[in-house]
Structure 1
């Protein structure tokens, strides 16, 4: 197991290194530069703009810029924002917990909806409820997040006024207000994830219910529901672990859409604002954080899958 974890960690570090190169290249290959975009309208002379480019290192070769940036990141220095002139790490440390709250709330709502639904539909396969769940889950998989979010806002915020339309409340300031403010964003990301999870878990449960050990348990008097909850659920959950990990990664990656829709001040909204302002240091830091989060989630998923699956042989 130790060798397995070390191998996954090494692979994750390599992925992060490649991701840093891709992030740096993507930002640098955008036409123009932040100095021109931000200061051209201010009437600065070409000499003044050249001095600013030199100050921020934009006049150096790309390889030197990348190496300087990567060396600084290893030391915990993400640079300063070109817009606010504050350290980027301060903005990140403020925004990261909020995005994590959203991802955790989203995956929690997805599991709360998906697991009981999968158990019930596996208990009564082929029925009306099973057909309804299959249809609804297909719709949630196909419909984009922002459409689901708009519908939730119209129904539960504008019409019923159960939840606020947008905004965010810090949990330390008002725990109840925080819980209320995060419900709609969490459901917006959680409903599509629950649709995927319920399909995978239902299919896995039906496969397990056909196995001999389930027939033996039922022959000894166990009901079908008891056979599911006591015998098949753990084995059927193994493929679901992988799906949940992938869904968490997608939740983090899709945060920019949901956070923008609900004016939720997380990493996604910070990234969007920084892109429009061509704030290179902030854009690079946000993208690198999302890549890091995705790698960590995948690593945790692989380790958890290996720990739960006794059939998987890993080096010790």
Structure 2
């Protein structure tokens, strides 16, 4: 319990640091945000309109007061309203975030299901034809940009073969079959880089465990290959793999923007791109804070998973 409390306290501290950095970065951007938002075609905005918008955004108050109000709103999960359509930022994120998370989880599941067995088999037959082919494929996938793979998938499977729809979204409750069909291609695109990374790490980790003394001793005692792999190799090999998997899942939170755009998947990318183009600061800040918080949450879950895989970690 002490280990869990420590990790939770560190995560809360990091959330506060991220929120502070986001707030300070917003106020360090050159120029008056109100003037920038009201400027069109290079003309100077009406000073009265600028003053009114500054008051609406709270920019006319002292910086410390703005910071205190910012933190107080965060404790209530109040991210303000969009400057474009005056829609609550939290509600927009609550609508879009589950779709992005679904895409990430589906991609992660595909990557793990493919990469872990492949890496284990390749490590057991290191140097063989399968190992060389799998390693080469992982290298190619690692280097292939996600938007290129997405375009190729659409061109091959949707345009030429007409096996899959090119993109779009249907709510799960409306048509589950169509929903998962539309999810498949973007999930494969998301899984591409993650599968390559997990394969390389898992293969190296399994090879390292296979060379350990305790594994050789287990084999000398007459344990079967399957039992040796389950009890002495795979579990220990999963600790570094879990580290990489957690970091990559956090990275995918920001890396799905291109995938969602290519496949027209209505996740967080649509409001984020619109907010950046329209300089909708509350929306940008809200999405950045939510993504950062999820990244920290994933790291917390990974830390707790380490303790399950290796109980010695929780006693350190």
- Does structure 2 conserve the Cα–Cα contact (< 8 Å) formed by 1:119 and 1:228? no
CA distance in structure 1 between the partners assigned to 2:231 and 2:13 by the alignment: 41
User: Per-residue displacement from partner, 1:64-101 (whole Å, max 9, x unpaired)?
Assistant: 32321221111221111111112111101101111110
- Secondary structure in structure 2 of the residue aligned to 1:18: helix
In structure 2, what is the equivalent of residue 19 of structure 1? 18
Write the mapping of 1:18-167 to structure 2, written as runs, cut at 5 A. Answer: 18-33=17-32, 35-41=34-40, 45-167=46-168
* Structure 1 residue 152, shift from structure 2 partner: 2.0
CA distance in structure 2 between the partners assigned to 1:176 and 1:121 by the alignment: 35
- Does structure 1 conserve the Cα–Cα contact (< 8 Å) formed by 2:79 and 2:286? yes
User: Per-residue displacement from partner, 1:22-52 (whole Å, max 9, x unpaired)?
Assistant: 2223333444455434433498632122112
- Does structure 1 conserve the Cα–Cα contact (< 8 Å) formed by 2:3 and 2:314? no
* Structure 1 residue 213, shift from structure 2 partner: 4.0
- Is 1:215–2:210 an aligned residue pair? no
* 1:64–1:166 distance in 2 versus 1, CA, 3 Å: farther
* 1:230–1:146 distance in 2 versus 1, CA, 3 Å: same
User: Per-residue displacement from partner, 1:103-149 (whole Å, max 9, x unpaired)?
Assistant: 10111011011011112101211012111211221222233322222
CA distance in structure 2 between the partners assigned to 1:40 and 1:241 by the alignment: 48
The total of aligned residue pairs comes to 314
- Does structure 2 conserve the Cα–Cα contact (< 8 Å) formed by 1:123 and 1:224? no
CA distance in structure 2 between the partners assigned to 1:100 and 1:203 by the alignment: 29
- Is 1:306–2:316 an aligned residue pair? no
- Does structure 2 conserve the Cα–Cα contact (< 8 Å) formed by 1:114 and 1:195? yes
In structure 1, what is the equivalent of residue 198 of structure 2? 197
CA distance in structure 1 between the partners assigned to 2:256 and 2:123 by the alignment: 32
- Is 1:290–2:291 an aligned residue pair? yes
Gapped runs of 5+ residues in structure 2? none
TM-score (norm 2): 0.91
Gapped runs of 5+ residues in structure 1? none
- Is 1:6–2:10 an aligned residue pair? no
Higher relative CO (Cα under 8 Å, sequence separation at least 6) belongs to: 1
Write the mapping of 1:172-183 to structure 2, written as runs, cut at 5 A. Answer: 172-183=173-184
- Secondary structure in structure 1 of the residue aligned to 2:84: coil
What do you get for the CA RMSD once the two structures are aligned? 2.2
- Does structure 1 conserve the Cα–Cα contact (< 8 Å) formed by 2:83 and 2:282? yes
* Structure 1 residue 194, shift from structure 2 partner: 0.7
More divergent stretch after superposition (39-48 vs 140-149): 39-48
* Structure 1 residue 211, shift from structure 2 partner: 2.8
More divergent stretch after superposition (53-62 vs 187-196): 53-62
CA distance in structure 1 between the partners assigned to 2:31 and 2:8 by the alignment: 37
- Secondary structure in structure 2 of the residue aligned to 1:58: coil
CA distance in structure 1 between the partners assigned to 2:265 and 2:24 by the alignment: 28
User: Per-residue displacement from partner, 1:209-249 (whole Å, max 9, x unpaired)?
Assistant: 22344334444655545643454211211211111111110
- Secondary structure in structure 2 of the residue aligned to 1:163: coil
- Secondary structure in structure 2 of the residue aligned to 1:92: helix
- Does structure 1 conserve the Cα–Cα contact (< 8 Å) formed by 2:170 and 2:178? yes
CA distance in structure 2 between the partners assigned to 1:263 and 1:26 by the alignment: 31
